[in-house]
Amino acid sequence: MAFDYAAPAELFLSKRTGRTRIKYRRFPTAAEAIRFAVEGLPSLRTLGAFLQVGDERFNCEEIRRHYDDGDYPLSKKRPVALPPAR
């Protein structure tokens, strides 16, 4: 079954500190939520991120896998080129 990148999605971030705090953000599409999670956050694993699309939940490894998939519909951030060594 193909992943629906156009479906609405919710991203949950659980910061692991002395007390558990969960942050929540809703996105109009799963593709936008995935891009935000991968490109906009320092570390999905550290933040305990998971994505919910409909009744399905995806952990940080699965979020990254959907981002790397050839079917991912949005443009990706280009890696920064390092200057040549002198």
Rounded Cα–Cα distance for residues 63 and 39 (Å):
11
Q: What integer pLDDT is reported at residue 15 of this predicted model?
A: 67
Q: What is the per-residue pLDDT across 11-62, written as a single tens digit (0 to 9) for each?
A: 998 766 666 566 889 999 999 999 998 888 877 666 678 999 999 999 989 9
- Residues sharing a CB contact under 8 Å with residue 12, sequence separation 6 or more, in sequence order: 22, 23, 24, 49, 50, 51, 52
- Kindly report the pTM of this predicted structure: 0.80
Look-up: residue for tokens 């939940």?
57
